[in-house]
Amino acid sequence: MATRNAVQLITYADRLGGDLPGLARLLRSEPFAGAFGGVHVLPFFTPYDGADAGFDPVDHTAVDPRLGTWEDVRDLARTHDVVVDLIVNHVSAQSAAFLDVRARGDASPFAPMFLTLSSVFPDGAREENLARIYRPRPGLPFTALRLGDRLRYVWTTFTPQQVDVDVRSEAGRAYLTSILDAVAAAGVGLVRLDAVGYAVKTPGTTCFMTRETFAFIEDFTAQARARGVDVLVEVHSYYRRQVEIGRAVDLVYDFALPPLVLHALYAGDGTALAGWLRDRPRNAVTVLDTHDGIGVIDVGPDQTVEPGDEPRPGLLTPEQVDALVAGIHARTGGASAQATGAAASNLDLYQVNSTFYDALGRDDHRYLAARAVQLFTPGIPQVYYVGALAGGNDVDLLARTGVGRDVNRHHYTAQEIAADLARPVVRALLGLCRFRNTHPAFDGDVEVTLDGPVLTLVRRGVAHPGASATLVVDLSTGAARVDWDGPHGRGRTEDLLHAPLDAVGTGAAGAGS
365 is in an annotated binding site: no
Q: For residue 263, how many other CB atoms are within 10 A of its CB?
A: 24
436 is in an annotated binding site: no
Helix (H) or strand (E) holding 319: helix 318-331
310 is in an annotated binding site: no
Secondary structure (3-state) at 60: strand
Which amino acid belongs to residue 63? V
78 is in an annotated binding site: no
Helix (H) or strand (E) holding 473: strand 468-474
* DSSP assignment letter at 363: -
430 is in an annotated binding site: no
485 is in an annotated binding site: no
| CA torsion, ordered 422, 498, 258, 12, to nearest 10 deg | 10
Contact 465, 459 (CB under 8 A): no
151 is in an annotated binding site: no
d(CA 450, CA 335): 33
Torsional class of 83: left (φ above 0), alpha (ψ -120 to 50), beta (otherwise): beta
434 is in an annotated binding site: no
Cis link prior to 258 (omega < 30° from 0)?
Answer: no
192 is in an annotated binding site: yes
Q: Write out the catalytic residue numbers.
A: 194, 234
Q: CB under 8 Å to 44, separation ≥6 — which residues?
A: 13, 20, 54, 63, 64, 67, 68, 73
d(CA 239, CA 348): 18
348 is in an annotated binding site: yes
100 is in an annotated binding site: no
193 is in an annotated binding site: yes
Backbone φ, ψ for residue 162 (5° rounding): -125, 105
292 is in an annotated binding site: yes
Contact 259, 350 (CB under 8 A): no
Annotated binding residues for substrate, written as ranges, equal: 52, 90, 192-194, 234, 291-292, 348-351, 405
Annotated binding residues, written as ranges, equal: 52, 90, 192-194, 234, 291-292, 348-351, 405
